[in-house]
Structure 1
């Protein structure tokens, strides 16, 4: 929205994509950090789903988190519309020449990278001191993924991020991609990390405050 304001709704440029990736990386770093000791700082239904698949969070808590995440996104978009004097919070969309199948693969791969990073730096019982850098590592992988996929489908990786703008603008074209892709990618990452890197015989249920 800031880019659109500065460029009078001009086309996205490489510099604009870099600015967006940095903004997302830094904001997510802070969001995860400030929420880590309270709720685990998920802020993403796909991350919550990945933690659920790996047995780190209960189904009931997952459902509550999803409701909170979606409501937070909608409220944020409404506040943005109010604060910017009615500027549109555009829904995520596919770029020209990018099909739903292409975007689905992108979202699966990018979310796999995100949730794998969450597991490696935050959920793995063997993480040790590496857990200290979990929030910034998570922010960095999201920023990197936006640089890679932003020009193709917006690089959501987060159903809540896509849901709020879709509700406020009431635009639902290909919206399913931004749910199916992240959830599939998160599930694959959770299964891969649990099966290959966390020993089931020594794995202990982590408290929710330790999710990350």
Structure 2
């Protein structure tokens, strides 16, 4: 494992770090606005009807497309994490300092909250639905879902965006990341909403002030991300390659 870096407190005021945090804020805002907005649009079109397979497909496509764009537009500035769990995975793998990670986490959560507030205003006061567990799904079932789905997401990030040997495959990293999230929503959306992203869960929870089982949507993604980063770094990364700078992630 590469050495985990804490970083210097001076990073908090460094121009590049602040620009990167702003890029994360904007990318998450774009992603959450489209993803949560698609759910609100579905509810409006169905008069708040019950969930349907069509709604699940709509959520999968909206989140997959929006994440592809959000990662792409942030890649050259912040690395396009768009997810506190991805940032944590980058930290575990030694690709970002703890100080920079903290700034990213704050920016990502603020981006999600602002997106949900904008949606509430734009829709005339409609609430963004908080993530919740489906009937018959326990917190432990949901925790496993979030761990496995986020493992797949962060493993994909490492394989297509972080690995020094990625070569031309890095070109398709944003779309690969969007596709794995869309696929995971099809797999887990009916059970726990398939968050894989603590910021995505945080915004609706703040705006609706509903925190039921919210810890699952933090612990699961962070565990899955940490495991994926450790597995890729220890068993699959060639130790002769230099660690890539954060800006290229």
- Given the two structures, how large is their TM-score scaled by the length of structure 2? 0.84
**3-state SS in 1 of match to 2:243:** coil
Q: 1:17-74: per-residue Cα shift (whole Å, max 9, x none)?
A: 0011001000000000000001101110000000000000111100000000000000
1:7 to 2:46 alignment: yes
Residues of 1 paired with 2:73 and 2:89: CA distance?
A: 21
Greater RCO structure (CA 8 Å; 6+ sep): 1
1:83-94 alignment runs, 5 A limit? 83-94=122-133
1:71-150 alignment runs, 5 A limit? 71-150=110-189
Residues of 1 paired with 2:74 and 2:41: CA distance?
A: 26
Residues of 2 paired with 1:50 and 1:104: CA distance?
A: 17
Q: Alpha carbon RMSD of aligned pairs, Å? A: 0.6
How many correspondences in the alignment? 210
**Which of residues 176, 186, 205 is equivalent to 2:243?**
205
Residues of 2 paired with 1:142 and 1:156: CA distance?
A: 9
**3-state SS in 2 of match to 1:11:** coil
Unaligned runs of 5+ in 2: 1-39
- Given the two structures, how large is their TM-score scaled by the length of structure 1? 0.98
1:190 to 2:226 alignment: no
Q: 1:60-94: per-residue Cα shift (whole Å, max 9, x none)?
A: 10000000000000000000000000111011000
Residues of 2 paired with 1:15 and 1:145: CA distance?
A: 16
1:8-27 alignment runs, 5 A limit? 8-27=47-66
4+ long deviations beyond 4 Å: none
**3-state SS in 2 of match to 1:42:** coil
Name 1:70's counterpart in structure 2.
109
Unaligned runs of 5+ in 1: none
